[in-house]
Chains A and B, each alone.
Chain A
Amino acid sequence: MLRFANPKKFLDLSGALLPWLWLGAIGLMGWGLYAALFATPADYQQGDSVRIMYIHVPSAWMASFIYGFMFIASVVGLVWKHPLADTAAKEAAPIGACFTAACLITGSLWGKPTWGTYWIWDARLTSVLVLFFLYLGYMGVWAAIEDRAKAARAAAILCVVGVINIPIIRFSVEWWDTLHQGPSVVRFENGKLAPSIDPSMLWPLLAVAVGCTLLFFALLFVRMRTDIARRRIRTLMTMKAAA
């Protein structure tokens, strides 16, 4: 895996993968969102408000997944000092912040008709809000420190410390009494992990979730390639100024 972290190899590999990632993301998200709005049935209890699930749940999954990805990249950056690991974590953060913001706002819009309120300080909602602030703090550290190596180290430490919030988000609905429902897409039943929603709802939900994951990697690769190009521009400008 680490041999693909060489910038030259990364540029070659990401260049070859990008068209497929875009294609997959557009195809899956396009079909999933179309089905979510026009083809899936309304819920027997929640009615048509359940359609918000198809964007809220994938956004929530992406919010945690991207932070987990940043955590791994930060550890690799801290331990092996690999410059691409820092770049990966740095460029993933704005994407994660966008998905977290989308999760919070769509959840709030789903909460009003379902719970009767846009917001409540329960453990799940509050821990996701903390995740959003962690993303902002992480980006703030990168923006505030001019020296790239120092910024990468400080941001990576913040990311590693902040990862404690991920299990809190995951288990908040089991550890505390929350207004937010417990895990309901897949459940342990009779010792087996099984989907708890009808396939007519499950497939569009999975399509949007996988589409969002492919979109994340497409955006991440474009952003990392741009960061590498930006560093090259800085080097060329310095060489030009010195000549």
Chain B
Amino acid sequence: MDFGKYTWFVWTSYGVFALFVGGIIVATLRSAARTRRQLEALTDEQGRPK
């Protein structure tokens, strides 16, 4: 999509926004998945310590 003389400014802004918002989403979900795996390794299916 071409926004004339503003093309670079518009797309760079959306790229920066995607980087920060996407970055915090990915970091949060990865950390949650890693922690869930660690907890699963220490507990049984009912959540009791192994």
A residues in contact (CB < 8 Å) with B: 33, 37-38, 47-49, 51-52, 55-56, 59, 94-95, 98-99, 101-102, 105-106, 109-110, 112-113, 212, 215, 219, 222-223, 225-226, 229-230, 232-233, 236-237, 239-240
Contact = CB atoms under 8 A, between A and B. Distances in A.
A229 B35 contact: yes
Contacts of A94: 24, 27
A48 B8 CA distance: 11
- Among the interface residues B17, B21, B24, B36, which one has the most CB atoms of the partner chain A within 10 A? B17
Contact of A38 (B1, B12, B25): B1
Contacts of A113: 5-6, 9
B30 to A, nearest CB: 10
A222 B9 contact: no
Interface in B1-50: 1, 3-7, 9-10, 12-14, 16-17, 20-21, 23-25, 27-29, 31-32, 35-36, 38-39, 42-43, 49
Nearest to B49: A236
Given A94-B24, A222-B28, 5 more contacts: A47-B4, A48-B4, A51-B10, A59-B17, A101-B20
B41 to A, nearest CB: 9
Tell me if A's interface is mostly helix, strand, loop or mixed. Answer: helix
Contacts of B6: 47-49, 51, 113
Nearest to A33: B14
11 contacts: A47-B4, A48-B3, A48-B6, A98-B20, A98-B24, A106-B17, A112-B9, A113-B9, A215-B21, A219-B24, A226-B31
Contacts of B5: 47, 113
Contacts of A95: 24
B14 A37 contact: yes
Contact of A239 (B9, B12, B28, B49): B49
A79 to B, nearest CB: 28
Nearest to A48: B3
Contacts of B24: 94-95, 98, 219
Contact of B35 (A48, A109, A230): A230
A55 B10 CA distance: 10
A101 B22 CA distance: 13
A208 to B, nearest CB: 10
B16 A98 contact: no
